[in-house]
Chain A
Amino acid sequence: MAFANVLFAAIFSAAVLFLVTAGLQLVFGVQRIVNLTAGSVYALGAYFGASAFDWVVVRGGSPLLLLPVLAIAGLLAGQIGFVIERVLRLVYERDEAFQLLMTFAFVLMLQDFLRAIWGAQPRIMGDLPDVYGALGIGEFRFPVYNAVVILCSLSIGLLLWWFVEGTRLGHIVRATAENKAMSEAMGVDTKKVTTLIFVLGSVLGTVGGALVIPTTAASLEMPSALIVEAFAVVVIGGLGSMRGALFGAVIVGGMRAIALSYFPEMEIMAIYLVVVAVLFARPYGLFGKAVS
């Protein structure tokens, strides 16, 4: 049943990666900024989720509240996007290299922010995935919690798709991404749109981090390590493409699960060899659009 376990781990990885990279893609699609803070807000969500759950349990909350508490914690932590976007706004008119560097400045700042609040020791929540029990088919058993996270990620993906394709606000967002000047001429407040999208992108990151924390440890290496994987996802899938995020997350999540079971020290190398191969075959990723 080793295969089923690897497959399940792959889907779980892919689900979490999709959440974070969907945020990256949204922000790139609308603002043309590659948001390096995605890893930092992911870690923030993880730490904040863990603390929020402890807070609830200490006050007599049932451990069964795990999922809703983490989801709410993720939503709250994501509001840090407001702060980041407020500063990032100062360089919207500048060369994209400076915008990228500005997000790097926030990576540095958030790194010490996390250290100041939660310390340098990694934070582990214990065997919490088991609070909802485990299911199994034959010898293959998996924690219900992980399955729920996969379902959450899928539903959030569907919600995003509905938001972008089916709502009025979604159409405005797409119009802004397509042609900012024209949208403004049509009366769209594009500043509000970019703020909204950036915060939404951050929330996706923090929710991803909060949902993953019961299964892993939150540490100060989390931000830069996540960026390495998230970058692979968006490059494989194509910058700015939601379908690309999904597809890339499945590839990277799958490779990650396989590598971790069979050749752990080769994980990043294997993933990035695929990245390079994809870039040569299709310079703008599998679903990316060429930009001049």
Chain B
Amino acid sequence: MKNILLIGLFVATVLCSPFVVSPYYATLVITMFGYSIALMGLNLLFGYGGLLSLGHAMFMAIGAYTVGVLGSKMGINSFEVHLLAAASVSGLIAAVLGALCARYTTIYFSMLTLAFGMIFHSFLFKFYNLTGGETGISVARPSLFGHAFSEISKTRFLTGPFYWYSLVLFLVLFALMALIVKSPFGQALRAARDNPQKTEFLGVPVLRVRYVAFVVSAVYCAIGGAILAVSIGAADPELAFWTQSGNIVFILVLGGLGQLFGPLVGSATFALLQDFLMANTQYWRFAFGALLAIIIVVAPRGVVGLLARGFGGRR
């Protein structure tokens, strides 16, 4: 019941928003799609796999920079190519790093991912010609399915074609993630989180399962980062700093860790709250910190858990 209500609410919101709300809020929804996609990846790794990464902002930055570098430096404008490149580059890097990181769990995993994230962050500063150093790189408007949409303004592009494009992308990736989580692989990942020894004895290759989750999460993060880069119009090294990795974990926990709708609810709540808080106070970080603390203590299942309780559903 609660799922149907949630889905209904979601469908109504996303279908109406480009027509009803101002362009500003429509772009906010795109940001939400971008974060949702990235968080779905993080949710697979941390929510279902129990591996807390403090370096996944790196993979979002890889996605964002891929769009920037391909579009602004190499003159390739097709967003399909951007997405493919972002997913492959991120997947490849994760394939290498994952082989090293997936052997670790708990705090050691967090610290190793943080270490790689920081190496990437300083790489962005150092390789100025490719990345634009400290100022970053501007992200030009890409073409979608070969249409440049140069006849409409940037805002119209974002709230029109790009909005629907991101929505479809989000829905496809969401459905895919739902399948992954339900699959034997997803079950193995959860089992490995709850009891690695027992899972290993049952014949599940725990390391390989975690490794695959790591790579998939990186691909999702890169795609999310690519969408964010287009809606923001730029990519800069701050995207890859460790505090940003902490922030995306916060948004996930806010939504609901290890729940299918957690990423979506989290990024929606975050986008609206940030918009509201930033308009009303310059101390919005404090509010977020306090909120995170409260969520951790009283609502470990995040807003999704609160909603479920509110609807009187099963726990």
Contacts and interface: CB of A to CB of B under 8 A. Distances in A.
Nearest to A279: B112
Given A108-B288, A109-B285, A102 B126 contact: no
A116 interface: yes
A108 B286 contact: yes
A207 interface: no
A265 B125 CA distance: 7
B162 interface: no
13 contacts: A36-B246, A91-B296, A94-B296, A94-B300, A97-B50, A98-B300, A100-B110, A105-B293, A112-B285, A112-B286, A265-B125, A272-B122, A279-B115
Nearest to A228: B118
Interface stretch (B83-91, B101-109, B227-235): B101-109
A275 interface: yes
Interface string A26-69: 00000000101000000000000000000000000000000000
A87 interface: yes
Chain B interface size, under 10 / 10 to 19 / 20 to 34 / 35 or more: 35 or more
Interface of B: 46, 50, 52, 100, 103-104, 106-108, 110-112, 114-116, 118-119, 121-123, 125-126, 241-243, 246, 249-250, 253, 282-286, 288-290, 292-293, 296-297, 300
Interface in A238-292: 239, 265-269, 272-273, 275-276, 279-280, 283-284, 291
Contacts of A280: 100
Given A94-B296, A104-B292, A105-B292, 6 more contacts: A105-B289, A112-B286, A116-B283, A268-B121, A272-B118, A279-B111
Nearest to A104: B246
A51 to B, nearest CB: 20
Secondary structure of the B side of the interface? Answer: helix
A100 B122 contact: no
Nearest to A280: B100
A113 interface: yes
A268 B107 contact: no
B121 to A, nearest CB: 7
Pairs A-B, 4 closest by C-beta atoms: A108-B289, A109-B289, A112-B286, A105-B292
A239 B126 contact: no
Interface string A71-114: 00000000000000001001100101110111011111111110
- Give the interface centre of B121, B253, B289 by most chain A CB atoms within 10 Å: B289
Contacts of A101: 52, 249-250, 253, 292, 296
A199 to B, nearest CB: 19
A18 interface: no
B250 A231 contact: no
B107 A96 contact: yes
Contacts of A105: 250, 289-290, 292-293, 296
Contacts of B121: 268
A223 to B, nearest CB: 9
B119 A272 contact: yes
Contacts of A224: 241-243
Nearest to A269: B122
